[in-house]
Amino acid sequence: MNFQPLGKRVLVERIEEATTTASGIIIPDSAKEKPSEGIVVAVSEEVKNISCKDKVVFGKYTGNELSLDGKTYLIIDTDDIFGIIK
């Protein structure tokens, strides 16, 4: 993939949530909420505190979707990222 975010933005791949509950109940796609965690796959040159492969938490309705190489990613402004999961 050849994509370089500009400004203070990162490219994030969402982490999909489980399709079944702990007790084995299958959750239909219509009932799933979009996850608010993801893995950073590209970082602009202006971003200093986040790097590729960081697991981040962001707002549910944050970012713009982008399809690259058959996958859907989010372009997120760093101000909309709440933190890094270590």
31 phi/psi in degrees, rounded to 5: -95, -10
Domains belonging to the chain, first-starting first, are: 9-85 (2.30.33.40)
Average pLDDT of the residues in 59-80: 93
Global pTM? 0.79
Instruction: Reply yes or no on whether the pLDDT at 55 is more than 90.
Output: yes
Instruction: Reply yes or no on whether the pLDDT at 26 is more than 90.
Output: no
Q: Whole-angstrom Cα distance, residue 59 to residue 78? A: 11
What is the DSSP secondary-structure string of the chain? ------SSEEEEEEPPPPSB-TT-PBPPGGGPPPPSEEEEEEE-TT--S--TT-EEEE-TT-SEEEEETTEEEEEEEGGGEEEEE-
